[in-house]
Structure 1
Amino acid sequence: MTAAATHQAEGNQAEQDILQVAREQVVERGVGLSEEQILAVLRLPDERISDLLALAHDVRMRWCGPEVEVEGIVSVKTGGCPEDCHFCSQSGLFPSPVRAAWLDIPGLVEAARQTAATGATEFCIVAAVRGPDKRLMSQVRDGIKAIADAGIDIQIACSLGMLTQEQVYELVEMGVHRYNHNLETARSHFPNVVTTHTWEERWETLRMVREAGMEVCSGGIVGMGESVEQRAEFAAQLAELRPHEVPMNFLIPQPGTPYEDFEIVEGKDALRTVAAFRLALPRTMLRFAGGRELTLGDLGAEQGMLGGINAIIVGNYLTNLGRPASKDLEMLAELQMPIKALSDTL
């Protein structure tokens, strides 16, 4: 056997061995894969994806159970953001068609009511800002109170950008139980995605949120020009953060943004990435979010639910349309995946 053939044989063996290692390490012991191991998973050939998805599903069932958390989101402040996140049509620095707009309190309450009607147990209030000012904090406070006064039985999460310590305490006092602030991508790739603030600033907000007792929700977007090595790096950094929830988004190229001509992530790569993140984060809620319809379609979404995903956003995604909530709820019913009860999220 030539040296090249020997190397290829050793490589093939290593590819198969990583799933054997993962079964013992992650399924049996609940220990997430290391960055090097995640990279080995991300390099698995296409013919191994079905085995990988089955393994990721076993991990999900073993450490998270069969239930799925359903969430709806609404933007209370859309567009006009001063940051230059290259993927985002809400940046006021790019010539995208999104313009600044505010949602009033009755509109916020109605959005919460409609979200609860789908069976969702989580409602996330989102704002396109660097961080909240007094006006926004006041509106969030009034909105949360109005939702409670309307008798809408749903948990409230927020995504309002970077926070001060005082604002963290304010949100806790308002009853916000989970805070979303995505790291977006690997630390090494972040300067290529955002230049108006740092990865470390985002990390600091998440640290304060965790220490204040709120649940931490932090994920990112796959397909922003990162290398496969950086995808592994990102998964390992999220594992270090130990978030309660990780939203998995796939880039939707937005007109007028620097990423408008980026290619959509291929379905197989998306599924491979979802499974790899599950093996890195065996106990974390892994949520299908933006771009899954475009990248995976209906069949791929079902494969993802059977490949490690155990939470889902229903309806629309801020400035992008999702598919009807009824479609996702039908899919969960067909897959015999029960929706997580509200009492279980307390």
Structure 2
Amino acid sequence: MTAQVTGTDILDVAREQVLERGVPLTQEQIEQVLRTGDDQLQALLALAHEVRLKYQGPSVEVEGIVSLKTGGCPEDCHFCSQSGQFTSPVRSVWLNIPELVRAAKATAATGASEFCIVAAVRGPDDKLMEQMREGVAAIRAAVDINVAASLGMLSREQVADLVDMGVHRYNHNLEAGRSYFPQVVTTHSFDERWDTCLMVKESGMELCCGGLVGMGETLEQRAELAAQLSELEPHEVPLNFLNPRPGTPFGDLEPMETGDALRTIAAFRLALPRTILRYAGGRELTLGDLGTREGLLGGINAVIVGNYLTTLGRDPREDLALLDELEMPIKALNDTF
């Protein structure tokens, strides 16, 4: 019979294993962290913050994102209002190059070091790749900021093209752990996403790869996602919390409880001690102002400022003021490589 591990025990194990030796938690250990009680939450967040400071330092990486092509996506990701298969009220819209440059300048003005161009597609066609080439060149000529991209699944040739354009980082989320993925997406496979991530890593671009929690997955499946991300070893993990969108299959799910969200943040930090862990979509709904602060003191060391692709975010000035209050400096552009 396996001895039951208490919340106190797993925190002691995590302190020795992760904080002192830098060894990520296993999937089973991540599950144990996710099951800790509310009475252990503050101690868990404090430990995750210690791990963040030891392996990532006090600075916070700030990023802005913009959608080059919004809506009309052929995929059926059940959380996403940009799918053309659902009744979600998002129409297909393309952004032009001057608008991209203006968005990049506005992002840089916040102090951000990263600007990500996103397109709602299965993968880029020739038209999109040409627009990316023009857009990246125009941004690099106009403003000093790293350019990232998120364009769906890629071929090896497209990966090489993005490297040639000067794209610094590529985002391609796993979204969910392998066992739950078929409940989230049916139009492509977990392995297709995984393969794109491996090609990006092999190319020398930084890989940004995270997921979405609160989609009805079990705690075991949430731990599975964290463990699989740990195995992949991306440079950055954006952590999204489901913000249920009307007209999508997940539109009627209840938002995750704040305590569960904070436990998830800490668990992901303990699974990924040397990885940038970024606040992404849904934090405003799930965490609110107080929870946002607690997450920054519980393992988070990067934020997306402003609005997301189809949902509203916090005013960037609020996030920047909070970072200043917490004495967390914004990571400088020359420190992001």
Unaligned stretches of 5+ in structure 2?
A: none
| Residues in 2 aligned to 1:177 and 1:209: alpha-carbon distance in whole angstroms | 11
Q: Which amino acid aligns with 2:333?
A: L
Please tell me whether residue 266 in structure 1 is matched to residue 275 in structure 2: no
Q: How far does the alpha carbon of each residue in 1:220-259 deviate from its partner, in whole angstroms, 9 at most, with x for none?
A: 1111110000011110000000000000000010011001
**Which one of the candidate residues 1, 6, 13 is aligned to 1:21?**
13
**Which one of the candidate residues 86, 89, 98 is aligned to 2:90?**
98
Shift of 1:148: 1.7
Question: Which residue is 2:122 aligned to?
Answer: 130
**Which one of the candidate residues 94, 104, 111 is aligned to 1:112?**
104
**Which one of the candidate residues 68, 78, 84 is aligned to 1:76?**
68
Q: How far does the alpha carbon of each residue in 1:40-65 deviate from its partner, in whole angstroms, 9 at most, with x for none?
A: 00000111100000000000001110
Question: Which residue is 1:197 aligned to?
Answer: 188
What TM-score comes out, normalization by structure 2 length?
Answer: 0.99
| Residues in 2 aligned to 1:224 and 1:50: alpha-carbon distance in whole angstroms | 25
**Which one of the candidate residues 308, 325, 338 is aligned to 2:329?**
338
Instruction: Spell out the pairing of 1:45-194 with structure 2 (5 A cutoff).
Output: 45-150=37-142, 152-194=143-185
Q: Which amino acid aligns with 1:345?
A: T
Please tell me whether residue 328 in structure 1 is matched to residue 319 in structure 2: yes
Q: How far does the alpha carbon of each residue in 1:82-130 deviate from its partner, in whole angstroms, 9 at most, with x for none?
A: 0000000000000110010000000000000000000000000000000
Question: Which residue is 1:3 aligned to?
Answer: none
Q: Which amino acid aligns with 1:189?
A: Y
Question: Which residue is 1:253 aligned to?
Answer: 244
Percent identity among equivalent residues?
69
| Residues in 2 aligned to 1:296 and 1:345: alpha-carbon distance in whole angstroms | 27
* Alignment coverage as a number of residue pairs: 336
Instruction: Spell out the pairing of 1:298-337 with structure 2 (5 A cutoff).
Output: 298-337=289-328
Q: How far does the alpha carbon of each residue in 1:65-95 deviate from its partner, in whole angstroms, 9 at most, with x for none?
A: 0010000000000000000000000000001
Unaligned stretches of 5+ in structure 1?
A: 1-6
Shift of 1:314: 0.1
Question: Which residue is 2:215 aligned to?
Answer: 224
Q: Which amino acid aligns with 2:186?
A: T
Q: How far does the alpha carbon of each residue in 1:147-180 deviate from its partner, in whole angstroms, 9 at most, with x for none?
A: 1222x01000000000000000000000011100
| Residues in 1 aligned to 2:147 and 2:168: alpha-carbon distance in whole angstroms | 6
**Which one of the candidate residues 274, 280, 301 is aligned to 1:283?**
274
| Residues in 1 aligned to 2:286 and 2:225: alpha-carbon distance in whole angstroms | 20
| Residues in 2 aligned to 1:62 and 1:345: alpha-carbon distance in whole angstroms | 17
**RMSD of aligned Cα (Å):** 0.9
Shift of 1:15: 2.0
Shift of 1:204: 0.3
User: Which structure is larger by alpha-carbon Rg, 1 or 2?
Assistant: 1
What TM-score comes out, normalization by structure 1 length?
Answer: 0.96
